Amino acid sequence: MNYHIGNFEKNVAGIESEVRKAEDAGAGLVVFSELAITGYPPQDLLEYSSFIEESRKALEKLAASSRKAGILIGAPTLNPNPSGKKLFNSAYFLYGGKISRAFPLVHPAGRTKKKRRSLSTPPNQRKKRLPAARSL
């Protein structure tokens, strides 16, 4: 998909269209990219509360349309802690018409400084190593 930075209506419409196609093909989970809701890279737009509010509204609209398949999609999350930056870069799981869960992402080494300027890594995940995935 070709996401447009700050064009929430167009991004959600395109995502909904792709979800319907995937559901028609029998998918149970549809995965979208990092910050797909906002368009990538949002850079300094992340500093505006109105941009974050619009992002949340777009996420809620998309969640309301999640009926058959789960949706995993990237969007910013407000940091509930007073320490650190005000936002996390998160993956959201949408299912059954609602936002089921947000997963703040851990930034791998080598990420751009511009992204780190606005988005934080959750404190309890900064030095945690995750086990490698394995086939079942």
What is the phi-psi region of residue 93: left when phi exceeds 0, alpha when psi lies from -120 to 50, beta otherwise? beta
Alpha-carbon torsion (48, 100, 104, 38), positive or negative = negative
- Domain-wise residue ranges, the chain: 8-18+29-124
8-18+29-124 is classed in which CATH architecture? 4-Layer Sandwich (3.60)
From first to last of its 136 residues, the chain has per-residue pLDDT tens of: 899 999 999 999 999 999 999 999 999 999 999 999 999 999 999 999 999 999 999 999 999 988 899 999 999 998 888 877 888 899 999 999 999 999 988 655 455 555 555 565 666 554 444 444 443 3
